[in-house]
Amino acid sequence: MRRREFLKLGAAAPAALGLGGLARGEESSPSARSAGQARNVIFLVSDGMSQGTLTFADQYLRWRDQRPSHWMALYEDRERRVTRALMDMSSGSSMVTDSAAASSSWGGGHRVDNGRLNVGHGGVEHEPLAAKLRAAGRAVGLVTTTSLTDATPAGFTANARSRREDALIADQYLERDVTLLLGGTGAGFDPERREDGRDHSKIWADAGGEVVRTREDLLAREDGPAKLLGLFAPDHIPYEVDRLHDPDLRREVPSLAEMTRIALARLSGQEGGFFLMVEGGRVDHAAHANDLPALLFDQIAFDDAIGVALDFQNRHPDTLVIVTTDHGNANPGFQSGDVHGARQFERISRIRGSFTEHITRWLGGNRSAGEIRERFADALDFEISGDNAELLAAFARRDYRPAYRRMRRASAVIGQVVANELDFSWIGTAHSADYVELTATGPGAGRIRPFTRNTELHGLVLETMGVG
């Protein structure tokens, strides 16, 4: 063949065959079914992550550890082929989605109303990925820092008219034979909080699955069959910043990266390949609460899980890794030219816990400005000015009320005071309509278009895994 013809074919063939997703190592992998097909898919979701959250965590890591976040490092990687896109996350009922509708758009491939899980208008049920993949012999794992039946894992697995139906959702995990579950317990997996008293841990163990409840137990179970249920907190897993600074929590509760590592170790032995969803679920909670340290360290914990997924992909190139978020939330970030960076990061690095756990709950009732300053300094090693303490004292005795209704809760007023200190502020306390960041690498990633509709990922996962 003449060189010119070869070049022509070389340029045309991948597009004609739909092989835009050729990735590093794919051709050399004996287990790749065919080009653009993946044995495994790891789908990572930072719940409620605005663009400012991604930026903040990356800039902080560059300051603290002199390295970018794993997420941003993907964009700087010259070896790895990476697809970057914006995604429209609109739901069936709003431009601003909630996590149930968002997860359903990926899990069931349809836009449903906020609050619903794969149930459309007229009650039509959309079969979720977990059911389709299990029926096709693929393993399915769900790892999250929220309770296991929370909206994001549920959207991949369940059909429910309301995301609050924890018992029904847990039952559907069982019926659909989800292979591995690691996260917080919540009402669905707690027999004492279920009307029928059903004990899923017992059912799981009776069926020959393993059940773990502590970090130590989990880390000791790297080897073994895939069937694993881990329940590490009564509800959601504590904020990472609280876990890091509490020796008991640190001993008892695994990090998201640790859960991800064990999940991958257990699932990688599955014959037909696996789908693993990993959710940094409390980035969203921190954003609702305008809680800077909770937001930062949960986003970093999520980013560490991305690192684990990419390490796995280096060893198993027939793995598609998708990294995204389901919606923005409160759009946080540094503002004003007074921000130096290092000066702010230095103060932030000394904060020893979340505002939610150490300040917000404590602030109710009358507190003097002096008490408030002391509390910030003692509990968190974070000094605030007398003026800012006065503002909080006035709010606590109901003498001060922000104009914007959504900013009137205590956590938001604390967020505004912290913005006075650090020039790090928030536009509200709710989800946003922003198009979201979508990143993918590995076989199939090249099929993602630069501007993607949320529902397209459903077909992409199935097609890439070769499930009809």
Q: Which residues of the chain form contacts with Zn ion (CB under 5 A)?
A: 48, 284
Given the complex with Zn ion, which of 48 and 141 has the nearer CB atom? Answer: 48
Closest by CA to 302, choosing from 92, 122, 43, is 43
Residue 182 and residue 260 in contact, taking contact as beta carbons nearer than 8 Å = no
Task: Please state, in angstroms and as integers, the Cα–Cα distance from residue 305 to each residue in 24, 230, 404, 410, following that order.
Answer: 21, 17, 36, 31
Given the complex with Zn ion, which of 329 and 455 has the nearer CB atom? Answer: 329
* Torsions phi, psi for 256 (to 5 deg): -65, -40
Q: CA-CA distance, 392 to 387, in Å (whole number)? A: 9
Given the complex with Zn ion, which of 39 and 327 has the nearer CB atom? Answer: 327
Residue 28, amino acid? S
Pair of tokens at residue 212? 């773990």
Residue 33: count of CB within 10 angstroms of its CB: 15
Residue 300: count of CB within 10 angstroms of its CB: 25
Given the complex with Zn ion, which of 48 and 155 has the nearer CB atom? Answer: 48
Given the complex with Zn ion, which of 287 and 391 has the nearer CB atom? Answer: 287
CB of 115 to Zn ion, least distance (A): 12
Residue of this chain nearest to Zn ion (CB atom): 284
Given the complex with Zn ion, which of 73 and 412 has the nearer CB atom? Answer: 412
CB of 120 to Zn ion, least distance (A): 22
Q: How far is CA 74 from the centre of its chain?
A: 17
Pair of tokens at residue 444? 């199939």
CB < 8 Å & 24+ apart, contacts of 55-58:
55/333, 56/295, 56/296, 56/299, 56/332, 56/333, 56/334, 56/424, 57/296, 57/299, 57/300, 57/303
Residues forming beta bridges with residue 181, ordered by sequence position: 142, 229
CB of 118 to Zn ion, least distance (A): 18
CB of 284 to Zn ion, least distance (A): 4
CB of 279 to Zn ion, least distance (A): 12
Given the complex with Zn ion, which of 238 and 442 has the nearer CB atom? Answer: 238
Given the complex with Zn ion, which of 284 and 318 has the nearer CB atom? Answer: 284
**Furthest-apart CA atoms within the chain: distance in Å:** 84
Residue 327 and residue 89 in contact, taking contact as beta carbons nearer than 8 Å = yes
CB of 461 to Zn ion, least distance (A): 23
CB of 285 to Zn ion, least distance (A): 7
Given the complex with Zn ion, which of 48 and 353 has the nearer CB atom? Answer: 48
Given the complex with Zn ion, which of 284 and 357 has the nearer CB atom? Answer: 284
List CB contacts of 427: < 8 A, sequence separation 6 or more. 330, 331
CB of 99 to Zn ion, least distance (A): 6
List CB contacts of 290: < 8 A, sequence separation 6 or more. 330, 332, 355, 411, 412, 414, 415, 416, 418, 426, 429
CB of 48 to Zn ion, least distance (A): 5
Q: CA-CA distance, 111 to 119, in Å (whole number)? A: 9
CB of 61 to Zn ion, least distance (A): 24
Closest by CA to 130, choosing from 169, 102, 99, is 169
